[in-house]
Structure formats: structure tokens, C-alpha cells
A and B are shown apart, each in its own frame.
Chain A
Amino acid sequence: MNLMAEILIQVIIAFLAGSLLLGLHRKVMARVQKRPGPPIVQQLIHSLKFFFKETAFPKTVSKVFYIGIVFILALIWVVGVIVGPVAKDSLLILFGVYAVYKIVEHNSGSSSGSPYGKLSCVRAVLSAATELPLFAAIVFVYMVTGTMNIGEIITYQSVHGPLIYSIPLAALMFFMLILTKSPYSPFAITKDKVLISGFETEHFGFLRGFMLFSEAIAWYVLLWVFLTIFFGPLNAVGYLIGMIVISFVTGFINATTPLLSPNHSVMTQITIGAICFAGTALMIFTGVVA
């Protein structure tokens, strides 16, 4: 197939699937809290609807920065789709994508000139300090498989079985990262409701729709990476079931867990990350993992 056609198809799949999964996530949360909740397609409809909503640029924003940061958010997750589902290239590039994503959260908050955005931008630095070490679970994937290339990791798992069985604590670290990025997460300190919508507060109308587009792709890519590097070679049905299950589980956790304060959130993530890191390292160096 033509490479550009493949990229376009994967970006569209990522957007549609990501939006529907986030809609499912919201529905699960509502049902757990005994509310009917919006339809599953609501997230998707919102993303498209905002493209036609009235949009104005507030007086105090840095206009180029304010629009440019939304462009960069979309750009990095298109890179995520290319490196992941399309090319099955290096995990290190995806680590870089995630690092830039945290910078985008920071800059999006500061570009608006709003106090809510600025507070969220400070918290983005705090959360980056814990989320990037959680993404470092890929180090253990490298230590076991001897490669950072996603295609080769899939091949390794087709011979030796899924990595979830050999390094479960590393998988838990990555799951913590996914949980952190899910909406209304107990660790979502950058979008705490006391900050309205955090770094997104002053991005409304079309720009919010563009952000929702990128976030749907981000959710899809993160789930895809998790399933690919820990659950071995999967077909389309396997990915579909896996993504639905993870969205369901994170929705249930988020509906039943209050949002933590920034210091508690950071300490909890660091503690869980450190235990999983030490545990996995111990398993590898003592020869439990072949």
C-alpha cells in the first residue's frame, strides 16, 4: 500500500477509535456513578462540532504561540502514529514524543495568559517528573528483548510469549502512565477541576476541537504501544478487545477514586514506579526473567 495512504488511514483510525474509546471511558464513569452519561459518540461529535463554533483569540494571548502549540500537539501525535502503528519503529522516539507532549502541556498553559493555564503549566512540570520515569518501563523491555524496535519486540514475543508474563511490574508502570493520561484520573493534576480545564481552559471553539482530535490520537497511540510491547503479536480484534478493556478499567478506577492533590499524586506515582522499577530490576538480575 502507498505509504501516505497507510498514514492517513492510521491517523483516521486513531482519531475515530480514540474518540469512541474516550466516549466509552466517560460512559463507564457515569454508569459507576449512577448517572446515564452522554452517548459513547459524544466525544467524537464534540471534536467535530467545535470546528464550527465561534472562536475568538483573547487579548492577552501570544497569538502565534497560542495557535502554534495546538498545531505542535497534533504534529507530535501524528509522529506517534507513524512511529507506532505505521512504521513500528523505535520506542525511544515515542519516549521523545511523550516528553514533547509534556512540554506542550506546559506551554499551552502559559500561552493563554490565564491564571488557570499558568497554574496548570507549573503542574505540568511536576507531572512530567513522574510520568517520564514511568515511561522508562521501556528500559526493561530493552533489557529483556535486546531491542528498542517495536517490530523486533513483536517478533521476540511471537517466539518467547508476551512480555506481560516475564516483566509484569514494568507493564504495571506503563499502565500507571496510561491511567495518568486518562480523563478524570486521580493523577490528572494538570486538569484539576479547581483549574477549570487546566492548560486547555482558554483554548475554546475550533482550537479545543483540534486539541480533542490530538488527545483522541494520543489515547489510541498509548493503548496501542502498551498492548504491542506487553501483549505480544495481536490481530485487529485483539487490539480492539484490549483497548476496550483498558478504557473500561481506567474508567472504573477514575470513577471511584478522588483526584489527589499534586504532592500526593507525585508521591504515589513515584512510590509505585520505584517499587515496580526495583522489583523488575531484581527479577532480571537474579535470573527470574530469562
Chain B
Amino acid sequence: MVNQKITCIILLVLSTLAILACLVINFEAWIVYAVAIFGIPTWILSLGLLTMAKPKPEDVEERVKEPFTGY
């Protein structure tokens, strides 16, 4: 979980910097497209993984089993 948090923070910072760089500097179109295509989803994914609420330690086992009503 700690590793996931660190990875998310790194990805969030990198994608933010890449998007900001494209906003400030006029790169070639293909570079801007590449940054937008990978940067925007990465920014949302890393932000979401940081903002999402985590289950309480005593509830974790129940939560990871709970969705599989069919099994």
C-alpha cells in the first residue's frame, strides 16, 4: 500500500509537470498529443488512487471477497 502511494505521487507529479510544460512551451504537435493521450488518464488515475477511501484493516478481508456474489 505504501509502494502504491509513492508510485501514485510520482506519476501525479510527472503527469502534472508534463502537462504544464506543454501549456507553457509550444512543442511540436505530436509531442503534445502524446503527452495529452498518456498524461491526462495518468493524472486522473494517480489522483483517484490517492483520493479513494481505503477499507479499515479489519474490513479488508470482507471487502475483497464481498463483490463475488456469483461464486
Chain A positions near chain B (C-beta within 8 angstroms): 2-5, 7-8, 11, 51-60, 67, 70-71, 74-75, 78-79, 82, 113-116, 201-202, 204-207, 209-210, 213
User: Does A71 contact B42, Cβ atoms closer than 8 Å?
Assistant: yes
Give the residue name and chain of the A residue nearest to B19 (CB). Answer: A4
User: Does A82 contact B37, Cβ atoms closer than 8 Å?
Assistant: yes
User: Does B9 reach chain A (CB closer than 8 Å)?
Assistant: no
User: Does B23 contact A5, Cβ atoms closer than 8 Å?
Assistant: yes
Instruction: Please measure, in the bound complex, the distance between the C-alpha atom of A3 and the C-alpha atom of B45, giving whole angstroms.
Output: 23
Instruction: Please measure, in the bound complex, the distance between the C-alpha atom of A51 and the C-alpha atom of B64, giving whole angstroms.
Output: 18
User: Does B53 contact A54, Cβ atoms closer than 8 Å?
Assistant: yes
Please judge, given known A-B contacts A3-B32, A71-B42, A210-B44, whether A59 and B65 are in contact too, CB under 8 Å. Answer: yes
Selected contact of B37 from candidates A59, A67, A79, A213, CB within 8 Å: A79
User: Does B36 contact A7, Cβ atoms closer than 8 Å?
Assistant: yes
Residues of B23-71 whose CB lies within 8 A of A: 23, 26, 29, 32-33, 35-38, 40-42, 44-45, 47-49, 51-55, 60, 63-65, 67-68, 70-71
Q: A2-B26, A3-B32, A53-B53 are in contact. List 17 more A-B contacts (CB 8 A).
A: A4-B19, A4-B36, A5-B23, A7-B33, A8-B23, A51-B47, A52-B52, A56-B63, A59-B65, A60-B68, A70-B45, A71-B41, A75-B37, A78-B36, A78-B41, A202-B67, A206-B51
Please judge, given known A-B contacts A4-B32, A4-B35, whether A11 and B49 are in contact too, CB under 8 Å. Answer: no
Interface size of B as a range: 20 to 34
Please judge, given known A-B contacts A2-B26, A67-B45, whether A55 and B53 are in contact too, CB under 8 Å. Answer: yes
Instruction: Please measure, in the bound complex, the distance between the C-alpha atom of A79 and the C-alpha atom of B34, giving whole angstroms.
Output: 10
User: Does B64 contact A78, Cβ atoms closer than 8 Å?
Assistant: no
Closest CB-CB distance, A90 to chain B, in whole Å? 14
User: Does B70 contact A56, Cβ atoms closer than 8 Å?
Assistant: no
A-B pairs with beta carbons under 8 Å apart, 20 shown: A2-B23, A3-B22, A4-B32, A4-B35, A5-B23, A7-B36, A53-B52, A53-B53, A56-B60, A58-B67, A71-B45, A74-B40, A75-B37, A114-B68, A114-B70, A115-B71, A202-B68, A204-B67, A206-B49, A207-B48
Give the residue name and chain of the A residue nearest to B22 (CB). Answer: A4
User: Does A78 contact B37, Cβ atoms closer than 8 Å?
Assistant: yes
Closest CB-CB distance, B16 to chain A, in whole Å? 12
Closest CB-CB distance, B32 to chain A, in whole Å? 5
